Structure 1
Amino acid sequence: MDLIQLEMFNAVAETGSINAAAQKVHRVPSNLTTRIKQLEADLGVDLFIRENQRLKLAPAGHSFLEYSKRILALVDEARMVVAGDEPQGMLALGSLESTAAVRIPPLLASFNQRYPKIQLSLATGPSGDQIDGVLEGKLSAAFVDGPVLHPSLDGVPVYEEEMVIVTPGDRSAIRDARQVNGSDIYAFRANCSYRRHFESWFHHDGAMPGKIHEMESYHGMLACVVAGAGIALMPRSMLESMPGSHQASAWPLPPDWRYLKTWLIWRRGAKTRQLDAFMGLLNPLA
């Protein structure tokens, strides 16, 4: 097994095609076919399922891809350290939408100014998607609702969010979920930690939400609430950043449910030099 084989394997895994992978790594297709077969022989397993002209990762291939990416990333990091250059390369971050919109824009601006050679990308989505992205090696790190108790992940708390129930402006104060029993709620998909938190609050108080309408943005949620179509849960910082927030009322959850911490997580043992540089600009919570 060598680094060229790993690069070829990654290319085939990403493209699903020997010909496309060959163009990506600037090799002839026959060379890739031979080297991939040699790699499978060395490992003693089939890494791909071959269907006509397409190659799909076999179960062993999925597992091996994670390690292959980590090995190549470590090699790149080692080259940069030995060369003594400033950090460079890719840093793929994931984030909750609210964190990306309110908390980290100044941080990203400072990072880009300080480390211009690092190519930073940002993907937003629910905590569940971000955690999967880190575990699968698609993301170097992600901002998620924490703590995240997973044996393959490390993390630190970085922000504290006050969670508020957003209702139409003429709604009276809410202190108990039974006051909004059966209300329609607007939320992200089922793998959103804030949605689970909201549903858990209902169940704790012996109440049930009505229909759950899945939305793609907080702006959409707020518009529906202001129109009188239901209620939503979101961080106060997110609500106050949006136009039209003055048309809604915000009611804090009870003390035991009111605050959630946002964590930055990364795969254990896979912290890169780029991620270290990014974390150097953070101010983690005590």
Structure 2
Amino acid sequence: MFKRAQLATFCMVVESESLTAAAERLFCVPSNVTKKLKELEMACGVTLFERERNRLSLTPEGRALYHKAKRFLAIEERARAQLEQDPVQGELRLGALDIALSHHLPQKLAHYRAQNRRVQLSVVQGYSLDLEFQLQKGALDVVFSDGPIEHPQMQSRRAFQERLVFIGGACRPALLAKSDLYVYSRQCHYRHLVDAWLQKQQVIPAALLEVECYDVIFACVTAGLGYAFVPESLARQRKVAYIECGNEMRSDIYAIWRKASDSRILHDFIDAVIRH
């Protein structure tokens, strides 16, 4: 694997036509120049210079590498200059729960994009555990999921308030046991909240129907075909009557990212989304 310093030193030696002159231009001792050249030759697996007394002449392999190295260094320099002129550019990979994408984030993402056109956003939807796994392995930069998260490599910050509320008529255990409950799959954090609530209230529904679509859930419940626990923000948006179920159904959405990340774009994005 080549290092930039090795390529830069190599090019300087070629252009200076001597180790001593190259060392002076690089503000280092000749032995450092010699070391970098030998490291580069070992990395390439070829001899780059013919050495005769105090003269260095490029081999055919050396001439080929010189032209490639100059192109690489020029591209790297242009990229560096562009970043210095406009540091707010890059790519952010975002993951979020369906409720975050459908209700909380759309306008915030549009506002951010309008203000930061040089930042490319890619957005995926997923379940809490899958999003956190993708974040941990580096496939995502930030996720909006259930929190707060307790993980030695992760950091979180509350972004949106959310909780599950009951829809479907009277919330009385005796009645609920005779009716169907529309629930989420066990991959979803909401399912664990609902299961815990049912256990606490000692309710066994007539049937548990796993439905991964809010539209279907609301349609069935409003048609009198059962009950469900849905995000309060959606119940309000659809103007559906609901009953609050206490703090145990609270499920705030957090921005979660890796502690090791010190990206300016990432932290500015999180601030913008939460503040907007």
TM-score in terms of structure 2 length: 0.64
Which residue does 1:259 correspond to in 2? 250
Q: How does 1:55-94 map to 2 (within 5 A)?
A: 83-94=84-95
Identity of aligned residues (%): 27
Determine which of 252, 271, 276 is the counterpart of 1:280: 271
**8 Å CA contact 1:158, 1:264 repeated in 2:** yes
- Distance in 2 between the 1:194 and 1:131 partners? 16
- Distance in 1 between the 2:205 and 2:252 partners? 24
1:207 matched to 2:203:
yes
**8 Å CA contact 1:96, 1:127 repeated in 2:** yes
Moved more, 218-227 or 207-216: 207-216
Which residue does 2:235 correspond to in 1? 239
**8 Å CA contact 1:146, 1:157 repeated in 2:** yes
- Change beyond 3 A, Cα 1:2–1:280: farther
Computing the radius of gyration over CA atoms, which structure comes out larger, 1 or 2? 2
- Change beyond 3 A, Cα 1:80–1:205: farther
- Distance in 2 between the 1:100 and 1:80 partners? 36
1:196 matched to 2:200:
no
Q: How does 1:90-109 map to 2 (within 5 A)?
A: 90-109=91-110
**8 Å CA contact 1:178, 1:206 repeated in 2:** no
Which residue does 2:133 correspond to in 1? 132
Matched position secondary structure for 1:137: coil
Determine which of 214, 227, 242 is the counterpart of 1:250: 242
**8 Å CA contact 1:134, 1:140 repeated in 2:** yes
Which residue does 1:59 correspond to in 2? none
Moved more, 179-188 or 132-141: 179-188
**What is the Cα deviation at residue 178 of structure 1?**
5.5
Could you tell me which amino acid in structure 2 is paired with residue 262 of structure 1?
I
Matched position secondary structure for 1:86: coil
| Alpha-carbon displacement from aligned partner over 1:19-62 (angstroms, at most 9, x marks no partner) | xxxxxxxxxxxxxxxxxxx9xxxxxxxxxxxxxxxxxxxxxxxx
**What is the Cα deviation at residue 270 of structure 1?**
2.2
Moved more, 224-233 or 190-199: 224-233
**8 Å CA contact 1:199, 1:209 repeated in 2:** no
Moved over 4 A (4+): 1-4, 78-82, 176-179
TM-score in terms of structure 1 length: 0.62
**What is the Cα deviation at residue 223 of structure 1?**
1.5
Matched position secondary structure for 2:162: strand
Moved more, 136-145 or 123-132: 123-132
Structure 2 residue runs without a partner (length 5+): 5-42, 44-78
- Distance in 1 between the 2:88 and 2:256 partners? 20
Matched position secondary structure for 1:157: strand
- Change beyond 3 A, Cα 1:256–1:279: closer
| Alpha-carbon displacement from aligned partner over 1:65-105 (angstroms, at most 9, x marks no partner) | xxxxxxxxxxxxx9589624232221111111111111112
**8 Å CA contact 2:177, 2:206 repeated in 1:** yes
- Distance in 1 between the 2:203 and 2:216 partners? 25
